[in-house]
Amino acid sequence: MTEYDLVIIGSGWAGFNAALRAKEFGLKVCLLEKSQIGGVCLNLGCIPTKTLIQAAKVFNLTRKSTNFGIESVNPQINWSKIQERKDKIIQQLRLGMQLMLKGIDFFPAEAEVLSNQEIRSGDKILKTKFILLAVGSKPLELPNLKFDGKKIVSSDEIINLKEIPKSLLIIGGGVIGCEFASLFSMFGSRVSIVEKMPQLLPGEDAEVARRLQAIFKKRGINVSTNTDATNLDIKNYDLVLLSIGRVSQAPQIQVDEYLRTKIPNIYAAGDCTKKIMLAHFAAYQGRIAAENIAHPQNPKKADNPHIPNCIFTLPEIASVGLSEEKAKTMGLEIKIKKFDFMASGMAHILDETEGFIKIVSDGKTGEIKGASIIGPYATELIGILTLAITQHLTLSSLKDTLFAHPTLSESIIEALKD
């Protein structure tokens, strides 16, 4: 029987980062994975979807190349080549992750927790002082709409389609639904989105959601909010993507603020904790869990509130901290600063002038409390404002920072001007 300090179940972004951090503390670590290293993010989520989206953006840019004085005759989509590139990127990143696990035992096998100190993995019984559950999440179904892998698919399956659907109905206008709507509309699919809530992207800034909906409609995407999917006739669509959220792979995993379960030596991190289902938050939780396992007498709270959210539509969307609506709901006195990308020189150079930056600050102190961006490279720009919020910067302190010209980042400074 092999003995470990820590056995981690699941090699997604939470489990993988926990393993690396635990190794740094000198712990003897074993990482178990029943599928592919990298979990949902690498194999079914972040990496494959963004690879497909980038291909769609290149195709979209090629079609409008005459705007830049470049004549390209009848660009064509080679879907099999796009899929090959996606699979190659995933394989390369898997290999890179495996190389980083030097000094950590990695077993590609299912795990069964026998007790708080014993785990069966394949034909092995592993004895351990601590266990970290990082088993991830899976797509959620509706009682009357079940995944069949053919007509009704999840986000796990749609990334591996053999061909682009002529018509696509997306049930759920959240992050996943909007990203796939943007992706397949750029590839020529007739796309419709149905969302039960009053706006696309529930929880995001309402003005950003309205702008995205207007852009979608301009591109021919049919958007229906306040609409219940149970009343829909799906016969008129080639494919239905059900994207109403995700649920933990393991039910009833509850953790405290230190990521401990009710069993003292068992921790959990990532999507299975049912907190914020974002890869970078999972990685953060994994690192904190590993630190608390290494130093249980001096634990850290996994309570960083400054978590950027990025949506890879065209245009991109990103946010961090408080939205305007959330701040008002909390009764805060706020000041709103905005800048439209139509006034950005670099946005015109890129031919991507749709969107704006909105910054929420404390009306009394000027401290930046939140930001929302819809526009070119929003997912990169949000890093600047995440840092500003984390460091409690005020409007005046950020406004005095020099940004290069012509860049998109200088638009943040332009937003702060009176």
Q: Would you place residue 73 in the very low, low, confident or very high pLDDT band (cuts 50, 70, 90)?
A: confident
Q: 259 in the Ramachandran plot: left (φ > 0), alpha (ψ -120 to 50) or beta?
A: left
Q: How many CA atoms lie within 13 Å of 253's alpha carbon, on the beta-carbon side?
A: 23
Chain center to CA of 45? 8
- Per residue in 38-59, pLDDT (tens digit) is 999 999 999 999 999 999 999 9
Catalytic residue, from 295, 348, 392, 405: name it: 405
- Per residue in 167-218, pLDDT (tens digit) is 999 999 999 999 999 999 999 999 999 999 999 999 999 999 999 999 999 9
**What average pLDDT does this structure show over 16-29?**
98
- Per residue in 330-347, pLDDT (tens digit) is 999 999 999 999 999 999
According to the model, what pLDDT value does residue 143 have? Answer: 87
Q: Would you place residue 219 in the very low, low, confident or very high pLDDT band (cuts 50, 70, 90)?
A: very high
What is d(CA 261, CA 267) in angstroms, rounded to the nearest whole number? 5
According to the model, what pLDDT value does residue 354 have? Answer: 97
Domains 152-244 and 309-416 share a fold: no
Q: Would you place residue 250 in the very low, low, confident or very high pLDDT band (cuts 50, 70, 90)?
A: confident
What is d(CA 290, CA 6) in angstroms, rounded to the nearest whole number? 9
- Per residue in 74-88, pLDDT (tens digit) is 899 999 999 999 999
Extract the tokens encoding 411.
Answer: 């638009």
Nearest to 181, CA basis, from 317, 276, 62? 317
CATH code for the part of the protein at 2-138+248-294: 3.50.50.60
- Domain boundary assignment for the chain: 2-138+248-294, 152-244, 309-416
**CATH architecture for segment(s) 309-416:** 2-Layer Sandwich (3.30)
Extract the tokens encoding 93.
Answer: 């990143």
- Per residue in 128-164, pLDDT (tens digit) is 999 999 999 999 998 888 999 999 999 999 999 999 9
CATH code for the part of the protein at 152-244: 3.50.50.60
**Pick from 282-286, 289-293, 361-365, 414-418: least confident:** 414-418
Mean pLDDT of the chain: 96
- Per residue in 259-294, pLDDT (tens digit) is 999 999 999 999 999 889 999 999 999 999 999 999
Nearest to 22, CA basis, from 156, 149, 130? 130
User: pTM score, two decimals?
Assistant: 0.95
**What average pLDDT does this structure show over 298-307?**
95
DSSP secondary structure letters along 282-342: HHHHHHHHHHHHH-TTS----------EEE-SSSEEEEEE--HHHHHHTT--EEEEEEEGG
Q: Would you call 405 a catalytic residue per the annotation?
A: yes
Q: Is 70 a residue whose pLDDT tops 90? A: yes
Give the three-class secondary structure for 74: coil
Backbone angles phi, psi at 106, to 5 degrees: -120, 120
CB 127 within 8 A of CB 3: yes
Nearest to 47, CA basis, from 10, 108, 96? 96
